[in-house]
Amino acid sequence: MDSIKLIEIAAVVLALMIAIIGHEIMHGYVAYRYGDDTAKHMGRLSINPFVHVDVVGTIVVPAVLFFSNAPFMFGWAKPVPIYMPSVIRNGGYQAAIAVSLAGIAYNFTLAIAASVVLSQLGDISEVNSYVEYFCVYFLVQTMIYNIVLGIFNLYPIPPLDGSHALSYLGRILGWNALVRFYESMERYGMIILIVCIATPLSSYFFMPIRLVLSWLY
């Protein structure tokens, strides 16, 4: 394996770990700010990657996607434990929405930051060292992975974050039919996601990601 490939793998691993682990930590941190210290007591607010790694979601799935030259990388870390009744008791359903969207906000913030830095670098097609190549490749992958994770989790499909936020919003607005709908959909959410990802519907499912990335580029 040549040096360039090793640099790309290292940049991909670092960018993906920061994206998916930070996403989960932000859920736990915002919950902690609203009075739920479950994640803190379990050591899940740590930046130590080993406490967050899910063998399948953090290692196997991204590796398979990377080496198969998939158009998008994806993965997940162990979910941070959150006791939502405590969050709601201290901050209401608005707090529950904030916790649900915290990881998405983190991903979008990182993506925008990476895009801004890249825009200041000028012509990134010409690099003069392995260090420069690693930095540029890392920034590009950081932008891509965080957009993918942010938009993917924004979809209102259980068990994604967007579905939780919409369900809590339904409780605030008194949309009981919407709340009941999401409660009944919990058991089918993964099936719906698989259909959206593994069938021709994927071209439509990932279209917002492609549009945002083309705009950021």
In this predicted model, what pLDDT tens digit does every residue of 40-50 receive, in sequence order?
999 999 988 88
Average confidence (pLDDT) over 98-105: 97
Please report the pLDDT score of residue 36 as a whole number.
Answer: 94
Task: Tell me which range, 3-7, 67-71, 154-158, is most confidently predicted by mean pLDDT.
Answer: 154-158
- Separation CA 66–CA 75 (nearest Å): 11
At residue 190's C-alpha, the angle toward residues 200 and 180, to 5°, is 115
Distances (CA, A) of 26 to 50, 75, 99, 191, 216: 17, 16, 8, 27, 24
Q: Give this prediction's pTM.
A: 0.90
Average confidence (pLDDT) over 161-185: 92
What is the b/e burial string over 1-32, where b = at least 16 CB atoms within 10 angstroms of the residue's CB?
A: eeeeeebbeebbbbbbbbbbbbbbbbbbbbbb
User: In this model, does residue 70 exceed pLDDT 70?
Assistant: no
**Using CA atoms in the order 86, 92, 95, 101, what is the torsion angle rounded to 10 degrees?**
100
pLDDT tens digits for range 17-41: 999 999 999 999 999 999 999 999 9
pLDDT tens digits for range 112-152: 999 999 888 877 667 778 888 999 999 999 999 999 999 99
User: In this model, does residue 73 exceed pLDDT 90?
Assistant: no
